[in-house]
Structure 1
Amino acid sequence: MTETTARIDVPETSQTVRQLVRYTLIGGSGVALDLVVFLLLHNVAGMNEQFANVISTTLAITNNFVLNARFTFERRDRIVVRFLRFYAVGLTGIALTNLLFLAFTDGLGVNANIVKAGSMPLVLALQFVLNRKWSFA
């Protein structure tokens, strides 16, 4: 009698989980940087929320790329190409957040700080998938 069992590729699953945890931790540093810079530019300097978002997110993208290349995906080859891909993925986050600003801040009058903070988990999930499959593949 033979037993049939589904084969689970534990190393691949384990690697994905480790990468997700590292990506999330590094993303946390990027979120903190992004949010602090956004709040300073928008609330203190009085900059338009969409411009403040582009600047703060660009700083966070650069921070996250350097840390993810080193610690999460451990890839140091084709660094310029990978950064351009990572930045392109980051642009999806900027675009998504700016669309949410248009809908919620401009359209419904929701505070821009709340929209910015609320958009971050959605952007994180989208960008992890895109970066894992494209930027660091």
Structure 2
Amino acid sequence: MTAEAATAPPQVSRQLIRYTLIGGSGVALDLVVFLLLHNLAGMDEQLANGISTTLGIANNFVLNAKFTFERRDRLFVRFLRFYAVGLTGIAFTDLLFLAFTDGLGIDANLVKAGSLPLVLALQFVLNRKWSFA
């Protein structure tokens, strides 16, 4: 077994832990902004989701580039890729809003909160393999 193969699983584990912790800060920012825009300002849930998720994506890119994947090269290209991956989260969450909020009448706040772990897992894999490869 090569040294690289022996160290790969611990590196992935460390990256996942850091990504999750950083993701937590982005999720907190995303959720607070969503709740303020949707509940206090009365903004449509899909527009509020787009704005709040964009802020969370920007927060997470900066922190992940520095601390998780430790990549500081080609930042503009990496950000575009990271944002594209983030858009998959917006699209996925919007589909859940359509199905569960609009279709079944489930509260948008619950749908938003329930979507977060699924989006986090999907985006970690995509960002690790594409944005920061």
- Which of 92, 97, 101 is residue 101 of structure 1 equivalent to? 97
Deviates most, 111-120 or 7-16: 7-16
- Which of 90, 103, 108 is residue 86 of structure 2 equivalent to? 90
What is the rounded CA distance, in whole Å, between the counterparts of 2:109 and 2:17 in structure 1? 26
Q: Which residue of 2 aligns with 1:80?
A: 76
Structure 1's consecutive aligned runs of 4 or more residues displaced over 2 angstroms after TM superposition are: 7-10
Deviation at 1:10, TM superposition (A): 2.9
Structure 1 residue ranges without an equivalent (≥5): 1-6
Q: Name the aligned partner's letter for residue 135 of structure 1.
A: S
Deviation at 1:47, TM superposition (A): 0.1
Deviation at 1:63, TM superposition (A): 0.1
2:57 corresponds to 1:61: yes
Q: What is the CA deviation profile of residues 89-113 of structure 1, one whole-angstrom value per residue up to 9, with x for unaligned ones?
A: 0000000000000000000000000
Q: What is the CA deviation profile of residues 9-37 of structure 1, one whole-angstrom value per residue up to 9, with x for unaligned ones?
A: 33111100000000000000000000000
**What is the count of residue pairs matched by the alignment?**
131
Aligned-residue identity in percent? 80
What is the rounded CA distance, in whole Å, between the counterparts of 1:42 and 1:58 in structure 2? 15
Q: Name the aligned partner's letter for residue 22 of structure 1.
A: R
Q: Name the aligned partner's letter for residue 56 of structure 2.
A: A
Structure 2 residue ranges without an equivalent (≥5): none
Give 3-state SS (helix, strand or coil) of 2:47's partner: helix
User: Please, what TM-score do these two structures have when normalized by structure 1?
Assistant: 0.94
Q: Max radius of gyration: which structure?
A: 1
What is the rounded CA distance, in whole Å, between the counterparts of 2:117 and 2:79 in structure 1? 22
Q: Which residue of 1 aligns with 2:41?
A: 45
What is the rounded CA distance, in whole Å, between the counterparts of 1:65 and 1:10 in structure 2? 28
What is the rounded CA distance, in whole Å, between the counterparts of 1:122 and 1:79 in structure 2? 26
What is the rounded CA distance, in whole Å, between the counterparts of 2:78 and 2:116 in structure 1? 22
Deviation at 1:70, TM superposition (A): 0.1
